[in-house]
Amino acid sequence: MSFHGNNHNCQWSFKSSYFHSGLSSPVTESTHPGEASRGLHEEFRELREQPTDPQAQQEIINSIEEVYFSNDSFDIVKYELEKLPPVLSLQELEEYRDKLKQQQAAVSKKVADLILEKQPAYAKELERVTSLQTGLQLAAVICTNGRRHLNTAKEGFTQASLGLLANQRKRQLLIGLLKSLRTIKTLQRTDVRLSEMLEEEDYPGAIQLCLECQKAASTFKHYSCIRSGGIEQLDVALSKICKNFDISHYTKVQQAYRLLGKTQTAMDQLHMHFTQAIHNTVFQVVLGYVELCAGNTDTKFQKLQYKDLCTHITSDSYIPCLADLCKALWEVMLSYYRTMQWHETHDRDEGAALSSDGSNAVGAEETNFDRSYVKKKLEHGLSRIWQDVQLKVKTYLLGTDLSNFKYDDFIFVLDIISRLMQVGEEFCGSKSEVLQESIRKQSVNYFKNYHRTRLEELRMFLENETWELCPVKASFSILQLHEFKFMEQSRSPSVSPSKQPASAISTTVTLFEQYCNGGNPFEIQANNKDEETEDVLASNGYESDEQEKSAYQEYDSDSDVPEELKRDYVDEQTGDVPVKSISRETLKSRKRSDYSLNKVNAPILTNTTLNVIRLVGKYMQMMNILKPIAFDVIHFMSQLFDYYLYAVYTFFGRNDTFELTGLGLSSSRLRTTLNRIQESLIDLEVSADSTVTLTAVEERKEKVPSLHLSHLVVLTSGNTLYGLAERVVATESLVFLAEQFEFLQPHLDTVMPAAKKPFLQQFYSQTVSTASELRKPIYWIVAAKAIDYEQMLLLMANVKWDVKEIMSQHNIYVDSLLKEFEQFNRRLNEVSKRVRIPLPVSNILWEHCIRLANRTLVEGYANVKKCSNEGRALMQLDFQQFLMKLEKLTDIRPIPDKEFVETYIKAYYLTENDMERWIKEHREYSTKQLTNLVNVCLGSHINKKARQKLLAAIDDIDRPKR
């Protein structure tokens, strides 16, 4: 084994070392193969002389130093020389030389053997190489010849004829193309025809033709263009439906889609078109108005979003634009409605046709499917479209601040929207929450502003009011005022209050049925507008109403008409029972009045009262239209009353000096009410200082300044009983106003949401009902000034009461007092010539005067230092005289505080024990009066001891008082 390996190595090392120069390039030397082989032979012969034992030879070879087999070329001679020992011995050297020679011989032999072994293979290979060489030379000759031939061919032949061939081919292609072009030309002519047909809106025909063409030239791509063009046009035609539905038009379009087998697609498209139409319509309408108002053709608006566009609408164009918007939207919705209608009738007809036919069962099923799909889709679309419409209108509505709109304009906006909501109701049964919410928002905002202006105006009326009677007929009723006409309407139950002409018949005919074939519900509204604005404007004081006229005019001839007739007149005109009964009641009570000497029984009211009442009417109209903000409106309405009441009080009832006497002039209820009004409504700071801080500006915005009485009203003259006429007019007009509020209560109650009813009840029980209570403090001031009580006290002080005989003549202070009363009566009569003084008023006046007089009498009697029995009798005589004469002056019975005087006088006669009890029982007298009584009795029938006891008793009852 190891030999094979070594042998192998040895073979290659020889190749590189030994034959290195000789056989390095066999190919180049291949031309002389014989020489090489001869040289080798000689060498081999020499080697053969060496021992031939292969075994021994192998051993020799094995003994060769390893280094000789190395591949590296190294200097053998140098190597051997270096190996020489330092001391050279010839023998050893010779031995070594022989060994090397032996080794060389063995190697040479081995190599020669191996070469000999490969000799035949070498010869054979050489032969093959030679034959290959010959073959190659031949090939080279052929190639050269071929190239020469090709060159000749190329030069003389190919270039010309190949160009010819190519041209031929081109020609053939062009002939083909020409054919195609001719076909296309025909197709284009068809296209023209198609366009004509489309123009004529003969869609089915066009589609038919189209389909034929499609068959004829389906290979041409151009055709697809034509076809899609047709569909686009069809699409446009479909979109036209949205704006203006036309049955024949739509039928054609539908047929066309059927031919294309695209009924369902058409439906989807249709919905998209409607959505698009809504958007485009509103955008165009609003854009139109915005550009119109902007007055230039600036294109910047076109790029705006619809929402932003809406904010550019001016207040002037707001209403016409809204009306146009609704009109346009109505048309879209009507088109949708009619589309549905078309499908309904069409399906019915077709269904009938199919059932009678019954042949094409599969087709029928398909159409059935289509039909139900279409139906569903259409029904679903209803609410979607309405939602779209609502949102668009909402955006428009909220885009402008309406708070500065005129009342009638705003009402008109509401009317349009309520009509639109009616449309929505009919369209898809929607409650139009979106619209309602936006309307609510706008309404509250509007109303707040409206109310603020009205309050400000009311302030002006009040400050300019001279509290002159505004002459109206006795039969005057607020229902005659234009502002309250709606109440007659609303008496028939559940009639929509928004004055819609259609509402009466809406139960039978819907708007869609009504305007199906033309016209526009919003158009009619616009026509109505004139009429309505006039109505509402009348409410601004420019009356236009016959009834109202009759309430004021021809006053002078009025007195000729018997009372009964006048009442009948009221009945005829208003037919209103509650009012009649109210007015009758008041009439009755007024008839008894002493001081209604003139002007029958006309209600007492002022210009300002009328103004407030009208405002109330307007507010109520607002409430009817805007049920959702009814509470806000009633709240504001209550402020009108509050303000009026507060004004009357501050003008005529507030008087600090008299308030302090603590006679309980105003009830605690009245005081509470007045405080509440002052706190919630009156802005007391306004007149104080201009540098008031800006704190609570918002809060103050809701308030109104306190008021000042017109300078023309003089409350200081005794001749006019301290402005009694004005006081009566003011106070009684307030009472009248309260009566009107009472009359309206049931109506207000019905519109008030249940949760807010307590507010209304509270308003009535705490504010409205206190109106008549204002009479007391207001008239008391007159009573306190009308009679000179102080003068009487002075006169009484001069009277001698310890007389010894019974007098038959009363004292002069009684005459003086009576004179005062006579004068008061005279003045009262004079005032009543200007203003009718109602019985309750005269009663209060008399009562206060008499009460004050009687109290002054007691006070006078309590000032007496000394008194005899006879003197006491004189007091009785005086008082009797006073009563007798007084009862001739007034009808008031019983005379108030009569007992108060009599009891005090007579208490003088009581015995000690009785008096003690009496003192305890009569706490209405002051300590001073009681003490005086006891002191006066001293010396006649009360002794000192008893006096001490009685004074102690007075002290006792006095103490708990503190």
Contacts with other proteins, residue ranges (CB under 8 A):
315, 401, 403-404, 406, 449, 452-453, 456-457, 460-461, 464-466, 468-472, 534, 537-538, 540-545, 548-549, 552-553, 555-556, 606-607, 610-611, 651-652, 654-655, 687, 689-690, 701, 708-716, 723, 781
DSSP summary character for residue 649: I
Nearest distance, CB of residue 401 and other proteins, angstroms: 8
- Of 606 and 666, nearer to other proteins (C-beta) is 606
Q: How far is CA 860 from CA 60, 338, 490, 920, 954, in A?
A: 182, 96, 63, 22, 20
- Of 523 and 534, nearer to other proteins (C-beta) is 534
- Of 396 and 651, nearer to other proteins (C-beta) is 651
CB atoms within 10 A of CB 511: 25
Query: 822 and 887 in contact (C-beta within 8 Å)?
Result: no
Separation of alpha carbons 102 and 51, rounded Å: 9
- Of 155 and 542, nearer to other proteins (C-beta) is 542
Nearest distance, CB of residue 442 and other proteins, angstroms: 16
- Of 171 and 711, nearer to other proteins (C-beta) is 711
Nearest distance, CB of residue 737 and other proteins, angstroms: 15
Q: Tokens 């030389």 — which residue? A: 97
- Of 285 and 472, nearer to other proteins (C-beta) is 472
DSSP summary character for residue 837: B
Q: Which of 412, 662, 675, 367 is nearest to 536 (CA)?
A: 412
The radius of gyration computed from the CA coordinates of the chain, to the nearest angstrom, equals 65
CB atoms within 10 A of CB 311: 15
Nearest distance, CB of residue 544 and other proteins, angstroms: 5
CA atoms within 13 A on the CB side of 886: 25
Query: Beta strands of 64-174 (E only): which ranges?
Result: none
- Of 262 and 406, nearer to other proteins (C-beta) is 406
Q: What is the DSSP string of 8-26?
A: HHHHHHIIIIISTTTTS-T
Query: 368 and 255 in contact (C-beta within 8 Å)?
Result: no
Nearest distance, CB of residue 548 and other proteins, angstroms: 7
Query: 824 and 787 in contact (C-beta within 8 Å)?
Result: yes
- Of 104 and 710, nearer to other proteins (C-beta) is 710
- Of 402 and 858, nearer to other proteins (C-beta) is 402
Q: Tokens 């550019």 — which residue? A: 312
Nearest distance, CB of residue 430 and other proteins, angstroms: 34
Q: Which of 552, 571, 589 is nearest to 474 (CA)?
A: 552
What letter represents residue 488's amino acid?
E
Nearest distance, CB of residue 687 and other proteins, angstroms: 5
Q: Which of 443, 373, 351 is nearest to 401 (CA)?
A: 443
Separation of alpha carbons 386 and 382, rounded Å: 6
Nearest distance, CB of residue 710 and other proteins, angstroms: 7
Query: Beta strands of 476-570 (E only): which ranges?
Result: none
Nearest distance, CB of residue 606 and other proteins, angstroms: 8
The angle at the Cα of 770, spanning 768 to 775, to the nearest 5 degrees, equals: 125
- Of 214 and 466, nearer to other proteins (C-beta) is 466
Cβ contacts of 895 within 8 Å, gap of 6 or more: 850, 854, 883, 886, 887
Joined together, the tokens standing for residue 304 give 């705006």
- Of 250 and 652, nearer to other proteins (C-beta) is 652
Cβ density class 753-775: b for 16+ within 10 Å, e for less = eeeeeeebeebbeebbbbbbbbb
- Of 654 and 747, nearer to other proteins (C-beta) is 654
Nearest distance, CB of residue 491 and other proteins, angstroms: 25
Q: Tokens 């010869």 — which residue? A: 123
**Angle 912-921/944-961 helices, nearest 10 degrees?**
10
Query: 511 and 426 in contact (C-beta within 8 Å)?
Result: yes
Nearest distance, CB of residue 406 and other proteins, angstroms: 7
Nearest distance, CB of residue 446 and other proteins, angstroms: 11
Nearest distance, CB of residue 951 and other proteins, angstroms: 40
- Of 543 and 958, nearer to other proteins (C-beta) is 543
- Of 535 and 859, nearer to other proteins (C-beta) is 535
Separation of alpha carbons 768 and 644, rounded Å: 11
Nearest distance, CB of residue 713 and other proteins, angstroms: 7
Task: Please give the span between the terminal C-alpha atoms of the chain, in angstroms, as a whole number.
Answer: 150
Query: 417 and 425 in contact (C-beta within 8 Å)?
Result: no
Query: 332 and 281 in contact (C-beta within 8 Å)?
Result: yes
Separation of alpha carbons 450 and 534, rounded Å: 19
Q: Tokens 């001073």 — which residue? A: 928
- Of 306 and 555, nearer to other proteins (C-beta) is 555
Nearest distance, CB of residue 549 and other proteins, angstroms: 5
- Of 318 and 396, nearer to other proteins (C-beta) is 318
Q: How far is CA 954 from CA 867, 935, 949, 950, 951, in A?
A: 20, 12, 9, 6, 5
Separation of alpha carbons 724 and 845, rounded Å: 10
Q: How far is CA 91 from CA 77, 81, 102, in A?
A: 19, 16, 16
- Of 448 and 922, nearer to other proteins (C-beta) is 448
Cβ contacts of 92 within 8 Å, gap of 6 or more: 85
Q: How far is CA 368 from CA 361, 371, 373, 689, 858, in A?
A: 10, 5, 8, 83, 106
- Of 384 and 701, nearer to other proteins (C-beta) is 701
Q: Tokens 């002037």 — which residue? A: 316
